[in-house]
Amino acid sequence: MNSYSIHNIPEEERPRERLVRHGAESMSSAELIAIILGSGTKEKPILQLAQEMVSRFGSLRTMAEATLAELCEVKGIGLAKAMQLKAALSLGMRVSRHTVAPRYHVDNPLHAYNLVKDELEHEKRELFVAILQDTKGGVICYEVVSVGTLTSALVHPREVFYPAVRHKAASLVLAHNHPSGDPTPSKEDYDVTRNLIEVGRMMNIPIHDHIIIGNQKFVSMRQKGVPFC
């Protein structure tokens, strides 16, 4: 048995057992990807490898649209694993094309938190996410635009607005996590937010809020008094 497979994880934490007990809806994208991949490597346990895939591509749609070569750029993903992942994501995309449903709307900070919490809440590095919205406020997708360290994620406006331009987004909601678990905004958080708001005004792509995610809680910078568009 591969010592880096799902079977090496304590039983109560194994994604497969969690899926059986609680259903797929209760699981994060990384856990579902771990089930598809089955095993990690000597350097990367399976859940770490799956989380790295989520962080690298930012959204499941972006991952589904990636080529086999792009999937293989993640260390630990060989051609066989890339094909497994590509096949599973392609099936999901086919299902979604035949499902008529309204787009998810972020009408308040809680909606934004629920959309990205699974990706950010337990991440040990700071991830900065841009949630892209259409003209009616529906979510087009969300992407990780910056990956930082245990204490900070440096983000440049071009990284935030590039996916917005590429997907023709009408507006944005921003989110990032504090690995410490405390979502209290720092001075840098305020400075970065004000800078991005100003860039959004110049580009006519308004930013509606910036939420900071901690351990099962979050802070909305709009509710803290930051003047968003």
CATH number at residue 20: 1.10.150
227 within a domain of the structure (yes/no)? no
Sequential DSSP letters for 138-169 = BEEEEEEEEE--SS-----HHHHHHHHHHTT-
Burial class from Cβ neighbours inside 10 Å (0-12, 13-18, 19+) for residue 64 reads: middle
pLDDT of 9: 55
Q: What was the pLDDT predicted at 8?
A: 56
Tokens of 142: 């969300």
pLDDT at 214: 94
Range of the domain at 169: 109-220
Whether residue 88 sits in one domain with residue 145: no
What pLDDT score does 152 carry? 59
Phi then psi for residue 44, to 5 deg, are -130, 110
Report in angstroms the alpha-carbon separations of 214 from 8, 129, 181.
29, 14, 4
- How does pLDDT run along the chain (229 residues), one tens digit per residue? 444 555 555 555 577 777 787 777 767 888 889 888 888 888 888 888 888 888 888 888 888 888 999 999 999 999 999 999 999 988 887 766 544 456 788 999 999 999 999 889 888 889 999 999 999 889 988 888 888 765 556 788 999 999 999 999 999 999 999 999 999 999 999 999 999 999 999 999 999 999 999 998 999 999 999 999 7
75 and 119 in a single domain? The answer is no
Q: What are phi and psi of 105, to 5 degrees?
A: -110, 135
Q: Please tell me the total count of domains within the chain.
A: 2
Q: What is the pLDDT of residue 183?
A: 95
Buried b (16+ CB within 10 A) or exposed e, 111-142: bbbebbbbbbbebeebbbbbbbbeeebebbbb
Is residue 121 domain-shared with residue 205, that is, in the same domain? yes
E strand residue ranges, the chain: 127-133, 139-147, 171-177, 207-213, 218-220
**What pLDDT is attached to residue 151?**
56
| Domain shared by 88 and 184, yes or no | no
Based on the domain organization, do 87 and 136 belong to the same domain?
no
Domain annotation covers residue 58: yes
Q: Are residues 130 and 209 both part of a single domain?
A: yes
H or E segment to which residue 112 belongs: helix 109-120
On whether both 120 and 208 belong to a single domain, the answer is: yes
The pTM for the full model equals 0.58
> Which SS3 state, helix, strand or coil, does residue 57 take?
helix
Task: Tell whether 68 and 164 lie within a shared domain.
Answer: no
Domain assignment present for residue 43? The answer is: yes
Domain boundary among 54, 70, 97: 97
CA distance 53 to 38: 14
Choosing from 67, 97, 127, the residue where a domain stops is 97
Residue at which a domain ends, from 77, 97, 117 = 97
138 with 192, same domain: the answer is: yes
Clarify whether residues 113 and 91 are in a common domain. Answer: no
